[in-house]
Amino acid sequence: MAELVRAFVAVRLPGHVADELENFLAELRPLANIRWVRREQFHITLKFLGEVAPSVIEQVKDALEPMKYFDPFVIELDHIGAFPNLASPRVLWLGGERGAAELGRLARKVDDVLNEEAGLEREAKKFRAHMTLARLKESRLPEELVRRLGEVPDFSFECGELVLMRSQLTPRGPIYSQLL
């Protein structure tokens, strides 16, 4: 049996925006011993596929190819939040209002196309446009970090392409490679 492929559909940050975000996070990293996302992992997930057969990946590629490029829109990431909340965070994320509705429509379109053409289950949860910044084991953040989280610069970029990514889990964290 062929090895399953762990994959997701996403929007990636352009290099210059990833550089700016990396510089901002470099200032935050020393403030807390948490698992920060590395620069090469910066993305906004539109649909997580989980572990699927290589044949399904080929169906997904075929289904996504016609919609890989789309009319561009601006995404603005300008505040940090947490799941479930900042009082007891498990995941820190970067989000914003500008572009969120467009990302939501794109995520629904991806969900519909992959359900119809690749037989994948529809998302049960409502889409929430965000980019994961860090994962926490402790549910408390140091005060200095909380203060700095309120001083987020505006990370804006034009988005007009989606990607299909493979995620290989390793002890040092996931390794991503682009499939489409």
pTM for this entry? 0.94
Would you state the structure tokens that stand for residue 130, as one six-digit string? 């965000």
Domains and CATH numbers, the chain: 5-178 (3.90.1140.10)
pLDDT digit string, tens, across residues 107-148: 999 999 999 999 999 999 999 999 999 999 877 899 999 999
pLDDT digit string, tens, across residues 6-51: 999 999 999 999 999 999 999 999 999 899 999 999 999 999 999 9
Give the DSSP H/E element, type plus range, for residue 154: none
Q: 79 an active-site residue?
A: no
Residue among 117, 119, 100 at smallest CA distance from 46: 100
Which one of the listed residues 118, 130, 155, 162 is annotated catalytic?
Answer: 130
Would you state the structure tokens that stand for residue 27, as one six-digit string? 């200032």
Which one of the listed residues 9, 37, 43, 100 is annotated catalytic?
Answer: 43
The CA distance from 78 to 21, in Å, is 11
